[in-house]
Each structure stands twice: as C-alpha cells, then as structure tokens.
Amino acid sequence: MKKIFLIFHGRFPSEKAASLFAAKSCEAFAELGSELVLLVPRRLKIDRNSPFKFYGVKENFKIVYLPTIDLFFIPWFSKIAFYLSYLAFSKVCFFYLLFEAKKEDIIYSNEILPLFFASFIFSNTFYELHDFPESKFSFCKKMFKRMKWFLTTNTWKMEKLKSTFGISSEKIILELNAVDIGEFNIDISQEDARKKLSLPLDKKIIVYTGHLYRWKGVDTLVETGAFLNEDTLVYLVGGTEKDIERVKNLKSRGENIIIVGNRSHSEMPYWQKASDVFALPNTAKEDISKYYTSPMKLFEYMASKRPIVASNIPSITEILNDTNSILVEPDDPKSLAEGIKKALEDFELSHNISEKAFEDVQQHSWEKRAKKILDFIDNTA
C-alpha cells in the first residue's frame, strides 16, 4: 500500500475549485488503496468538523490541520499575509513529515515550496503543475530539479516544462482535470430542476458557474446580454463578494444578466440540469486563461449533457472541439451570442455535441485520473 501525503495550502473546506480538487483527489487515491494523509493549514474561521460532508466525499482519508500564520483577516495585508502563511506552512509541513513520514512515502502537491523543503529528506516528490511561472525561471529551475515527478494538466504546460526547464519527458505525466460524472448526470428533468431552484419555466436559460474573475471572460458574457433575446436569461452562479460587486456595477449589464452569487457545490448539478446552454467565455488576453487553465467546470458541464459554447483558445480546445461543443471567438460578445443562439435554435446539433461531450468525459473521472497517476509512479519509480 502506497502512503501519500498530499499538501494543500488553502482554506479547507472552502468554495474554491482548488479546495474541491484536493478533496476529490484524496478520495480517489484512497479509494484505489493508497493510505492518504491530507495536510492543510489551520486557518481562522474554518469549520473543521465537516469537510467530508461539505464536499460529499467518502471519509476514507485523514486530514491533518497544521499551524500557520493567519493574517488574512487584515484586508490591506492580504498579499503579505499569503506569503507569510505559505512560508510558515511549508516549514511546518517539513517538520511534520520529518517525524510522521517514511523515506519511501510519496509527497504530493501543487505547491512547490513545501515540496522543495521535503525533497531534502524525501526523494519521492510529485509536483502537480497547475499554473506556469511567468518570471524567476532560474529560481524555479533550482526547485524543479529536486522534483522526481511532474504532472501537467495540458499539453502546452508539458512542452513549456520541457523546453524552459529542461525536464525530461520520462518525469512528466500529462493528465487533464476530472469530474465525478455521477454527481452531475443526475436523474432529474429540466422542469423539475428549475422548480427546485425557483427558476422560470418559460425562458431560455444560459448558465455560467464558477468564479467571476476577468480572465474567466465573465465581462464578455455580461456584454453578450445585449445581443440576446429578452426571453433568454444568463445566470452567473458563483463568485466572491468582491467580484460579485464588481460585476453588478458593470455598465454593460442588462436585466437579462442575473447574478446568483455563491452556492454550495452540491447545488451545482441542479443549476446545470436547469440550463439550456453552458457558457465558457474564457479570455484570450491573459496567459492563465489562454494557456494554463484546465477548468474543472468544463468537465462538470460535459457530464451534465447540455450544449457548451466556449472560447476557441488552446487551453479549452485541449478538451473541446467542433464535435463536442460550439467554439466562438474569445473576447467577442457578439460571437458568443451567436454561438448561444445556434445552440438554442439547432436542436439536433445541441443534442449531438452534448452526447459527444458526455462520451468524451467518461475518460476523465477522478478514479481514472488517480489510477493513471499511480500507474505512472509504479512504472517510473
């Protein structure tokens, strides 16, 4: 039995996708027989009694809350607070592992600093690269040299990891993000889902779920409202209070753009089953959107059997294409609106791309993802 220590520096539990990602990964590794210990920071104002219930995951792994410096309650201090917390947590993780882990155990994280510290004692360090460093390449190169394995969530990051940092192909596994397919392909009609959420039954409903950051293309989606019919409503489900206020104040927001705010992850399948079309309007103006991301919500959309209208950018076309989605010009509200109208008006096309997306997403369950990672470790150990 492999013992894996998975390190996550973030609020746990929380509404953020990265936190859910950690929980689902732990559950999947443990389900396949690994002994899994999740290390997370002990932050203020976190309910540590119900993370398994919060995410709807099996209680098949251990969660250890480690001390850190938590100054996030000071609004103007957030950036410094993050670095203080990150450094403190990374050091505490090192000492915890020093006493609790064995040298053959696997230290796994998408956080490079705690892995770097751990690498001086433990050789089995596994770095899951989510973002790509935009500067300080020489510093990162020193850290990366100490990693035994890498995972990238798209081809662009894999190639850049090899070309920029000289990492050999044998040390890298390419594995996209994942979804709990059964969680989103629930047995409920569109009408019943709308009744459950108190949504109108006589309107066309476009759904966007997730954060409302600019790089997610939310501003473009808001502008799209001006090009849609009055009986077509766009629901934005998610976002922090700060981003919700920002979007509310956009001058281009019309009455058909409805900001729902943050909702529990368990409610998302109902929003998605209530929809006619999903929007994925990522911008091409920022590298994090154009190249780095592998959106979890995309896989959730694919599992929900509704047509997807998405930006035609490399990070998205790693997964989507003309057979399983409608691709539109990024940062172009009119093009996005035309794609949405096409999905609403062409029933046969929408049915076909929805079915193909559902077929394609079968390869991206959490269990299959974890199995590929464990097999990769076995084959390269």
Query: What is the edge-to-edge ordering of all strands in the sheet holding 125-129?
Result: 62-66, 35-41, 3-7, 106-109, 125-129, 149-152, 172-174
pLDDT score of 198: 97
- pLDDT for residue 1: 77
Pairwise CA distance, residues 14 & 51, whole Å: 9
Instruction: List, for residues 227-262, the tens digit of each pLDDT value.
Output: 999 999 999 999 988 899 999 999 889 999 999 998
**Sequence-distant contacts of 241-244: CB under 8 A, at least 24 apart:** 243/211, 243/212, 243/213, 244/212
User: How far is it, in rounded angstroms, from Cα 376 to Cα 372?
Assistant: 6
The residues of the chain scoring below 70 in pLDDT are 48, 73, 75-76
pLDDT in tens, 120-138: 999 999 999 998 887 788 8
**Helix intervals (H) in the chain:** 17-31, 51-55, 78-100, 112-118, 137-144, 155-165, 181-184, 190-197, 218-224, 241-248, 268-274, 287, 296-303, 314-317, 333-345, 347-361, 366-380
CATH topology identical between 3-178+365-380 and 181-363: yes
CATH class assigned to 181-363: alpha beta
Tokens of 362: 């079968």
* The pLDDT value given to residue 143: 94
Locate 109 and state its tokens.
Answer: 């994280």
Region of 70 please: left (phi>0), alpha (psi -120 to 50) or beta. beta
Separation CA 268–CA 25 (nearest Å): 19
CA 89 to chain centre: 22
The yes/no answer on whether domain 3-178+365-380 falls in CATH 1.10.3720.10 is no
pLDDT single digits (tens) 336-369: 999 999 999 999 999 999 999 999 999 999 999 9
Residue 83's pLDDT is 86
Q: Report pLDDT for 76.
A: 67
CA-based nearest residue to 47, from 88, 13, 8, 96: 13
Each domain of the chain, given as residue ranges in start order, spans 3-178+365-380, 181-363
Q: In what order do the strands lie in the sheet with 204-209?
A: 257-261, 232-237, 204-209, 277-280, 308-311, 326-328
pLDDT of residue 79: 77
